[in-house]
């Protein structure tokens, strides 16, 4: 079983959902980013979603755009990001690691070299934000060859045919987008048809569902889990803490620890 599959099974046995924070790698630099990621894991993150710094992010709102720019301005790119993931994997051999990035960063290395490198550093899953199901054929063979689970996004307007394809082709988990638009901790309005999308995915035997976009409070995590999903991803709210305490690294780690603990506590739902 993959690390994601194993983690979901363990959490389900404990009647817990998953809390998955997102951060941009090497923000604000490689050393501090490693400290940040360790803090997330040590304080309850069930898995990690990590982003490569990129100059033209597709779905990211201003908070994550700024994180990308900080990492790039400090001179970090894909090579440093792979180095950092390898360091994280060495310290945490069991934590599931998902990578979120745009296709240009894959093409820059050739598709096969990219997936080979993902396997070498211990990445479990890859979500290419600007590659829809219909354009995934050139990526899937290499993901399978190197044992990487290819994850796809379920958008709010997904029709029945798209949901059927998602359930078959997405591996590890399905990323359910809470609403249209870009990432933002401030925009917490969820689309009205989430329950219908979740039910449709489950009826088609999809992988576990992780919901993201606008997840910033423990109550939102609880509400998500009540819809029957496996867990919640929080990106902008996590990265905003890094931005807020750029000049005080120890305070940043303290605030991240507190945030992750509160979010994780809200995943113990089914026993209530």
Q: Which pTM was predicted?
A: 0.93
Residue 210: CATH number of its domain:
3.20.20.70
pLDDT reported for residue 189: 54
Q: pLDDT under 50 in the chain at which residues?
A: 179-188, 271-272
As for how many domains the chain has, the answer is 1
Quickly tell me which residue has 């296709």 as its tokens.
Answer: 103
Q: How far apart are CA 64 and CA 58, in angstroms?
A: 11
| Domain around 43 | 18-262
The Cα–Cα gap between 71 and 55 comes to 10
The answer to the question of residue 4 being in a domain is no
pLDDT tens sequence across 180-207: 444 444 434 556 689 999 999 999 999 9
Active centre residues (catalytic): 49, 60
Nearest to 33 by CA among 79, 102, 66, 80: 80
198 three-class SS: helix
What pLDDT shows up at residue 192? 63
Residues 6 or more apart in contact with residue 250 via CB below 8 angstroms: none
Q: Is residue 191 part of a domain?
A: yes
The pLDDT of residue 60: 63
Q: Is residue 10 part of a domain?
A: no
The residues facing 20 across adjacent strands are: 233
Those residues with Cβ within 8 angstroms of residue 196's Cβ, 6 or more apart along the chain or in another chain:
none
Q: Within 10 Å of residue 6's Cβ, how many Cβ atoms?
A: 12
179 in any annotated domain: yes
**Is residue 13, in this structure, part of any structural domain at all?**
no
Residue 73 lies inside a defined structural domain of this protein: yes
- The predicted structure's pLDDT at residue 182: 41
Position 204 scores a pLDDT of: 97
7: in domain: no
Q: How many CA atoms lie within 13 A of 71 on its CB side?
A: 29
**What number of other Cβ atoms are within 10 A of residue 263's Cβ?**
26
Tens digits of residue pLDDT in 86-137: 999 999 999 999 999 999 999 999 999 999 999 999 999 999 999 989 899 9
Residue 5 lies in a domain: no
Distance CA(218)–CA(19), nearest Å, equals: 10
Note the pLDDT of residue 271. 45
């Amino acid at each position: 079983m993959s690390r994601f599959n194993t983690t979901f099974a363990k959490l389900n046995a404990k009647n817990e959902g998953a809390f998955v924070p997102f951060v941009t790698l090497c923000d604000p630099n490689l050393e501090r980013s490693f400290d940040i990621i360790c803090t997330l894991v040590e304080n309850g993150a069930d898995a990690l979603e990590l982003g490569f710094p990129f100059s033209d992010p597709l779905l990211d709102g201003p908070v994550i755009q700024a994180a990308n720019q900080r990492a790039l301005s400090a001179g970090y790119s894909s090579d440093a990001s792979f180095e950092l993931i390898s360091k994280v994997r060495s310290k945490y051999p069991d934590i599931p690691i998902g990578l979120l990035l745009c296709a240009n960063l894959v093409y820059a290395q050739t598709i096969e070299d990219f997936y080979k490198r993902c396997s070498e550093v211990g990445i479990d899953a890859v979500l290419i934000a600007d590659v829809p199901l219909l354009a995934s054929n050139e990526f899937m063979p290499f993901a399978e060859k190197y044992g990487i689970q290819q994850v796809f996004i379920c958008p709010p307007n997904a029709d029945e045919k798209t949901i059927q394809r998602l359930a078959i082709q997405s591996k590890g988990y399905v990323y359910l987008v809470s609403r249209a638009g870009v990432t933002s901790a401030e925009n917490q309005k969820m689309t009205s048809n989430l329950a219908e999308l979740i039910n449709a995915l489950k009826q088609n035997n999809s992988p576990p569902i992780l919901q993201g976009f606008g997840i910033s409070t423990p109550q939102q995590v609880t509400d998500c889990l009540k819809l029957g999903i496996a867990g919640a991803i929080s990106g902008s709210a996590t990265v905003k803490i890094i931005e807020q305490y750029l000049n005080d690294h120890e305070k940043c780690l303290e605030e991240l620890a507190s945030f992750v603990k509160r979010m994780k506590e809200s995943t113990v739902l089914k026993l209530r």
